[in-house]
């Protein structure tokens, strides 16, 4: 007869362990999501690695708890169960990564809406007012919250402009987020992707360029 100390005869202990793991994994995942969604925009984030590693574990441990609670027995076919729960966890991980990235990008776009509005209102000499653009309360508050002192690249003529900012990525190549005043939209891409890079290059050909930052440009 199986001893009462064996895992198969102690579902309550298994439930407690699994619940503790769920709380731990969920807390770590939540922290990663908060970091990703409140940060400067990225093309790929370290948070995605956290989701990929932990979300399958959350799904698996949740199944373990549900199985033990419903049957009164400890799950024994753990390998088979992982084959079923890992894909679900990876789907959730992908959804979290996209949601966090979209929230970060939306916060950036909302904060920088008055920035691009001011650039558009000063196309006669848009480079002269760089410090003023960054001093806009929404922009200054966002930069302080994300711990950034960004340098924007502005390309313009008398009718339109494109302002871009560098964004981070999982690798060293980074990416770019830019506003096209002609189309009135923001776009974001990784620098390794040839098609959006060529689109951006074509969009800005023939335009006058300058950098915008809090510090005045050297004379």
Residue 217 domain-assigned (yes or no): no
When divided into structural domains, the chain yields a total of 2
Residue 219 domain-assigned (yes or no): no
**pLDDT in single tens digits along all 219 residues of the chain:** 344 344 445 878 888 999 999 999 999 999 999 999 999 999 888 999 999 999 999 999 999 998 888 887 887 888 888 888 999 999 999 999 999 999 999 999 999 999 999 999 999 899 988 899 999 999 999 999 999 999 999 999 989 999 999 998 888 788 999 999 989 999 999 988 889 999 999 999 999 999 998 875 554
pLDDT score of 214: 80
Same domain, 50 and 18: yes
Q: What is the DSSP letter of 157?
A: -
| CA torsion, ordered 175, 179, 180, 184, to nearest 10 deg | 140
Residue 131 domain-assigned (yes or no): yes
Residue 2 domain-assigned (yes or no): no
Element (H, E) at 219: none
**What are the beta bridge partners of residue 208?**
156
Same domain, 188 and 120: yes
pLDDT score of 217: 53
Same domain, 75 and 161: no
Same domain, 31 and 121: no
Containing structural domain, residue 141: 108-212
Q: In the block, which residue shows the tokens 């298994």?
A: 14
Same domain, 144 and 95: no
């Amino acid at each position: 007869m199986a001893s009462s100390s064996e895992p198969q005869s102690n579902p309550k202990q298994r439930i407690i362990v699994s619940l503790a793991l769920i709380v731990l994994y969920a807390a770590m995942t939540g922290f990663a999501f908060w970091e990703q969604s409140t940060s400067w925009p990225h093309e790929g984030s370290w948070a995605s690695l956290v989701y990929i590693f932990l979300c399958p574990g959350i799904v698996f441990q949740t199944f373990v708890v549900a199985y033990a609670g419903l049957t009164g027995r400890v799950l024994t076919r753990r390998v088979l169960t992982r084959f079923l729960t890992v894909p679900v966890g990876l789907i959730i991980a992908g959804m979290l990564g996209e949601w966090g990235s979209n929230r970060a990008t939306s916060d950036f776009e909302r904060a920088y809406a008055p920035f691009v509005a001011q650039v558009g209102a000063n196309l006669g000499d848009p480079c002269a007012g760089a410090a003023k653009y960054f001093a806009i309360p929404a922009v200054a508050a966002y930069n302080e919250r994300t711990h950034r002192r960004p340098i924007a690249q502005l390309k313009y003529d008398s009718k339109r402009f494109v302002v871009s900012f560098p964004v981070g990525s999982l690798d060293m190549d980074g990416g770019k987020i830019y506003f096209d005043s002609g189309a009135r939209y923001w776009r974001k891409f990784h620098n390794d992707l040839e098609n959006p890079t060529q689109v951006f290059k074509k969009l800005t050909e023939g335009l006058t360029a300058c950098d915008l930052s809090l510090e005045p440009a050297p004379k």
